[in-house]
Amino acid sequence: MPAPSPGLHRALLGLWAALSLGLLGFSAIAQEPFWADLQPRVALVERGGSLWLNCSTNCPRPERGGLETSLRRNGTQRGLRWLARQLVDIREPETQPVCFFRCARRTLQARGLIRTFQRPDRVELVPLPAWQPVGENFTLSCRVPGAGPRGSLTLTLLRGAQELIRRSFFGEPPRARGAVLTATVLARREDHGANFSCRAELDLRPHGLGLFENSSAPRELRTFALPPDSPRLAAPRLLEVDSERPVSCAMDGLFPASEAGVYLALGDQRLSPDITLEGDAFMATATTTASAEQEGARQLVCNVTLGGESRESRENVTVYSFPEPLLTLSEPNAPEGKTVTVTCTAGPRALVTLDGIPAAVPGQPAQLQLNATENDDRRGFFCDATLEVDGETLSKNESAELRVLYAPRLDDSDCPRSWTWPEGPEQTLRCEARGNPEPSVHCARPDGGSVLALGLLGPVTRALAGTYRCTATNAQGEAVKDVTLTVEYAPALDSVGCPERITWLEGTEASLSCVAHGVPPPNVSCMRSGEAGIIIEGLLHVAREHAGTYRCEATNARGSAAKNVAVTVEYGPSFEELSCPSNWTWVEGSGRLFSCEVDGKPEPSVECIGSGGTSEGVLLPLAPPGPSARAPRIPSELAPGTYICNATNRHGSMVKTVSVSAESPPEMDDSTCPSHQTWLEGAEAAALACSARGRPSPQVRCSREGAPRPQRLRVSREDAGSYRCLATNPHGTDARIVTVGVEYRPVVAELAASPPGGVRPGGNFTLTCRAEAWPPAQISWRAPPGALNIGLSSNNSTLSVAGAMGSHGGEYECAATNAHGRHTRRITVRVTG
């Protein structure tokens, strides 16, 4: 579907506006009997648009009618009581068309109102200044030409998205068109680079139309700050031709510093500075080189431009020419005795001075002559030139050195006759000779041996010590000198000069001497450990107390060395009663051996052999002298008697007589103390039969375990029980438990018949006999003669009769018998009818 034409669109907008505004005239029309009507009565049309107006009447037969307006017409349609006409290109802000009809000699009229509106198609922000100083006001002006009606317009000035000022033109005349909004704004640093714009709003929503908006193109504001002070210019006051010198120009308080333009020039020569920015400050540095054409007074200019404004500084610079002075020697390398001429020259305006003697006038040379000697070798000559420029005296100088050729010299200061070095650290061996050309120096042993490596860093060893012949040679001759090298080193105590162990013999004379190696010769002193300050010197009469550890120390200028020396004093054997007693008792089973320790160094060997009696020729086992020695087998028996003990070492022997006796600890067994013993009740009370073997004879005591045995004259059954017997002698104890049983004679304690009181013929009865005895008694019975069918229990303690007859009646006897006696008891049994 094609889009509506622009004219039709504007007509529709006008129709809507007419409908909204024309409702106000309905009530007036209704009051007249005949009327004329114009629709739309009130219309709002976009400028340049078109509108159809309908002119009508209720007159039945109007005579004539029409529509009066100054607007252009495009077409007309008629009817009997109406007229429709299209108005086009409506541009006037406001017009009032009139609809009229002639009815019954009266003229009926209807007046309408057509207004136009124009969108804010052009919104213009007046251009901003190219640069705006910070802190000063500038004007923002916005124009919206032709837009209206003005009363519906609102203009807003913006910084970016921020509204600065907003104004509505409500209440302006309906015919008013276009609007202008102006504001004064203070320029700030933060406004630099900010975009300013204007927004126009035509609000026709109260008239049934929409809100029409438009904005101007943004305009960028550039602000700047340029202080009133001139830039700081640093430059040399004097500048030598062909020399490079730095110049700089700096300024603070610039904003934005990056936009500043810097012009730096020396006279007509423009420089290319390097710009360094730091905040609101800048520094422009450059290197300037003056040419000979620029010689004379010049100006160095620094111009800083920002925001169309500039600041400038100038400095005076004097460009001058001052060549280096020239110092010449007629013969730089002169043989000893040769005449040498020295000349100093400079530029035409410079005054020269040679070794403190000035020339007669500026521009003339200075000169001197000398007869070259050894002392002139490496002599320096100094030429100084001065030039006055712009009130300032400048100076330059030049130096030269004279070399005098002469034969070598070996002085004691550079090549001493005697060298002393410590051993170990690396040293540079130097023997230097004077001479020109520089001599070569060679030092070797006179016998053609080793050569010293002169000038090289190397370790110093004892092998370097000795005498050397040093020869210095150059093209002018040679020099010879003998030197002695001494290598010093700290003392050393070795096993040859100071052994770790020394042995002396008691009673002889000896001295403790240690020889140490070292340069210079060391001093050696020895003192006993733990006895500080007591130095051992001279001959000693050796005694055992001289044995021990001695600390020997050797000292010289290069250090010290110390060593422990163990002194052993040896002596012949000797017996002491405490360590080898004359009387010794061997205890059987103790595992002990005879200890016979003999004093002597080295440790003597000891042997004890029996002499006479049962010990004749018997070797007495001895306890080992130390815990690590192997012990001999411990004997089960040892023959007592007299033994001769002989102690021997390399310094002699000694003999001692030892008497040995043998003893043993107590011992009990069944043969000496039976573990089961029996007593007889009523017998006289006696002690247990217990004895023990042992030497000396042990004493045996027995006591009842538990309750003690009361003292009685006769044995009682209560004496039975367990007894502990303890045998004791000086070598120990032995215990044994003995069980005692008490035996006694038999007694028939009970003899009874069942049933008691008698038995009928043919009945059964039983006799029971109980006896007390130890050992247990044997029970036997004796029955009346003729008694038959008698039965006995297994231990004969019960007698049974079945089917008693008259012959079973009578007296029965029970007898109890053991090893200690017999006891009987009788009972009578009656058989009744």
* Single-letter residue type at 669: D
Per DSSP (E only), the strands in 588-640 are 598-601, 605-610
- pLDDT recorded at residue 251: 93
34-89 pLDDT tens trace: 999 999 999 899 999 999 999 999 999 998 889 999 899 988 999 889 999 999 99
- Rounded CA gap, 528 and 547, in Å? 10
Over pLDDT 70: what percentage of the chain?
Answer: 95
Give yes or no for residue 710 having a pLDDT over 80: no
Residue 475: is it exposed, middle or buried by C-beta count within 10 angstroms (0-12/13-18/19+)?
A: exposed
HSE-up of residue 827 (Cα within 13 Å, Cβ side): 21
C-alpha to C-alpha distance for 324 and 243, rounded to whole angstroms? 12
Neighbours of 617 (CB within 10 A): 9
Across the range 595-600, mean pLDDT stands at 90
pLDDT digit string, tens, across residues 317-367: 989 888 889 999 988 888 888 899 999 998 888 889 988 888 888 888 988
Alpha carbon of 350 to those of 364, 381, 419: distances in Å?
A: 8, 19, 55
| Structural contact between residues 570 and 542, judged by C-beta atoms closer than 8 angstroms | no
Confidence of residue 233 (pLDDT cuts 50, 70, 90): very high
Q: How many residues does the chain have?
A: 833
Considering the entire predicted model, what is its pTM?
0.43
Please check the confidence at residue 99 and state whether its pLDDT lies above 80: yes
pLDDT at 32: 57
The burial class, CB within 10 Å (0-12 / 13-18 / 19+), for 168 is: middle
Strand-pair partners of 183: 140
Per the prediction, the chain carries an average pLDDT of: 87
Report the distance separating Cα 72 and Cα 92, nearest Å: 11
Pair 62, 103: CB distance under 8 Å: yes
3-state percent helix, strand, coil for the chain, nearest multiple of 5 = 5, 55, 40
Give the confidence band of 10 by pLDDT, cuts at 50, 70, 90.
very low
Q: With a cut of 70, say whether residue 16 has pLDDT above it.
A: no
Per-residue pLDDT reduced to its tens digit, 261-311: 999 999 888 999 999 999 999 999 999 988 888 888 889 999 999 988 999
- Flag the least confident range among 76-85, 196-205, 253-262, 581-590: 581-590
Q: Does residue 613 carry a pLDDT above 90?
A: no
Sequence-separated contacts (24+) of 272-277 with Cβ below 8 Å: 273/249
User: For residue 792, what pLDDT band results from cuts at 50, 70 and 90?
Assistant: confident
Task: Find, among 682, 728, 684, the residue nearest to 702 by Cα.
Answer: 728
pLDDT at residue 569, as a whole number:
93
Confidence of residue 100 (pLDDT cuts 50, 70, 90): very high
pLDDT tens track for 449-504: 778 877 777 888 888 888 889 999 998 889 999 999 899 999 998 988 899 999 99
